[in-house]
Structure 1
């Protein structure tokens, strides 16, 4: 007898349903599934010589209902969210961003992004797997 258990685990770990974009002025985080964001954090890691420096650049709480394809401005003003920490991001080549959205008991989703070696041009979006595209969710 063979017993097969299958399920749908939607608690993403570092490959969450997000995209990181740039509009020429701001770094953006798009949701690729409908989400109610009640808590989030974002860190930025840069390599300097042989060491990596990481800094928490954004923390916010509140309630923001987003449909798939909508985005938040990193460390900016976003309806429904109150920022408790805001540091301007520096999206240079090779910079790594980690984001976590929501908190227990809500589903927790995280994603990690690395800015491509040739940078992120205005209108570009990068996925957690490193794919660059012109739309956030593809």
Structure 2
């Protein structure tokens, strides 16, 4: 048996509203929001007395990003907010865009900072930006052809 598809990526956040605004400005759509709690949720994720608000966002092609704000138990910050890309663990999500420059400019208006950018031969233009809570987003623009 093989994997059918990637369903979603989870990002635990403290300021749910700011991170939602960031991803919506990037071009994702808010699909829904709910609060989950209780022993079944706790059993699934290995925590007790869980209460969390979840927001599900979708890319134009249907890929999901789930944002979770834990009310109980409170989320634990592991490392600095501006941890570098080579920090162990999940570090970034990357999106294909039509225009890196326009996307970076638009996201700067929403508080994003540029980490760096480069051109990969004649095929890709790449940029890394940092959004709320240190979230790193990669932007890839196909070049030529």
Structure-2-length-normalised TM-score: 0.26
Question: Higher relative contact order at CA 8 Å, sep ≥6: structure 1 or structure 2?
Answer: 1
**Structure number with larger C-alpha Rg:** 2
